Chain A
Amino acid sequence: MRLVASDLACVRGGRQVFSGVGFAVDAGEALMVTGPNGAGKSSLLRLIAGLVGVAGGGVALDGGDGELTIGEQAHYLGHQDALKSSLSVAENLAFWANVLGDGTARVGTALAAVDLGSLARLPAIYLSAGQRRRLSIARLIAIARPIWLLDEPTSGLDASGQTMLADLMRAHLAGGGLVLAATHGPIGLDGAKELRLGESR
């Protein structure tokens, strides 16, 4: 599996966010998207997920399921955590497991993997920012999808949470997955490629 982007351009609100962006990520590889605020890191991830229209160039996935779009084969972990306050932790995760996966998700194991196993029945409104982020991350492991699009995945996480996320990403890469992460700092992946946005202008 190989994700290739060539000469990508993105326009948001009439402003050219970036243009001429290209990269290739193979199975088992990670790509760190870096750059100053407003360089288009989040826009690039949203564009790959199909949540933002492509203004030029294109993204292609070789070796994926031809019937599905790239977004349908990817996990998108954005700034918003997509959690409903009045649903419990387990209900939130089970809902996304049913919507994004095929209903065979391992909700219990995924919650245990992010250290939320004991809070499964707590309404999500009582979670802290870091716990909400952990619950979002649990989605990545509850449902298997080959591409992970992570937007500042470590924000709100404590040290152990960051180690946990790094371990999960390494396991995902070892299983032949792809990780694209927009980040300002190191997120614990050695040997990751880097794509720097916002310098050509």
Chain B
Amino acid sequence: MTALAALFVRDMRLAVRVGGGALIGVLFFLIVVTLTPFALGPDLALLARVGPAILWLGALLASLLALDRLIAMDHEDGSLDLILTARVPLELAVAAKALAHWLTTGLPLVVAAPLLGFLLNLEPKATGAVALTLLAGTPALTFIGLIGAALTVALRRGGLLLAVLVLPLTVPVLIFGVAASNAAIVGPVPFATPFAILCALTLMSLVVGPFAAAAALRHGLE
């Protein structure tokens, strides 16, 4: 197995084993979305209108939950030191870790979204649109979060600071994710326009995230 494949497989394994926290994000997502109807009241039309926004907000907050494990755990137990002495570029190593992180924490949110759409009185078409935008947008959340995770790696219990750092950077993803969902449901903008920008944001974060994170980790060496 190559070094990158080994990193990827290990992070997947760690996430699904005891204490890995792969399901924490989905459970949090479920709770946020379940609480919303209680807070807003039984107005079905209102729920259907704000549904996509609630799903996106829930997914955004849920994706933050596990971010502090992304790199910090490898830093705490010394694994990061050894990864730095591996013969792979650090950029690719953190990208492999982020990919495993997305598959174990981001993808479950996408899968859960259609089920949670029922709770918000979303039509099947609307639910499909939200799930599609989440599929396109959650990788951006992970890879933007990767930068924050690298910046706060040396801080013990840096989770809160991480959230404060990362959330402002995810605003464009949120805007275009919700805009694309609403475009598919009510119009008048064609779905493709905001969705294309959402995809562009994701592609950009896939490129920028690993380089920025690797630079932050190297700079943090002391």
Same assembly = yes
Q: In chain A between 62 and 98, which residues have their CB closer than 8 angstroms to a CB of chain B?
A: 68, 71-72, 74-76, 78-87, 91, 94-96, 98
* CA A147 to CA B79, docked complex, whole Å: 19
B17→A86 contact, CB < 8 A = yes
Any B CB within 8 A of the CB of A191: no
**Contact partners of A75 in chain B: CB under 8 A:** 85
Contact A53 B221 (CB under 8 A): yes
Chain B: which residue is nearest A83 at the CB level? B77
Number of residues in B with C-beta < 8 Å to the partner?
A: 27
From B79, B83, B87, give the contact of A68 (CB < 8 A). B87
Q: CB < 8 Å: which of A51, A82, A100 contacts B77? A: A82
A51 touches B7 (CB 8 A): no
Asked whether A50 and B82 contact (CB < 8 A) given A83-B77, A84-B10, A103-B1, the answer is: no
Which chain B residue has the least Cβ–Cβ distance from A145? B85
What chain A residues lie within 8 Å of B222 (beta carbons)?
A: 12-13, 52-53
Q: How far is it, in angstroms, between the C-alpha of A84 and the C-alpha of B88 when the chains are bound?
A: 21
Q: Which residues of B contact A (CB under 8 A)?
A: 1-3, 5-7, 10, 13-14, 17-20, 76-79, 81-88, 221-222
Nearest 10 CB-CB pairings of A with B: A80-B78, A98-B6, A86-B17, A82-B78, A71-B85, A82-B79, A99-B3, A98-B1, A99-B86, A95-B10
Known A-B contacts: A81-B77, A86-B13, A87-B14. Give 4 more (CB < 8 A). A46-B81, A91-B10, A100-B87, A103-B2
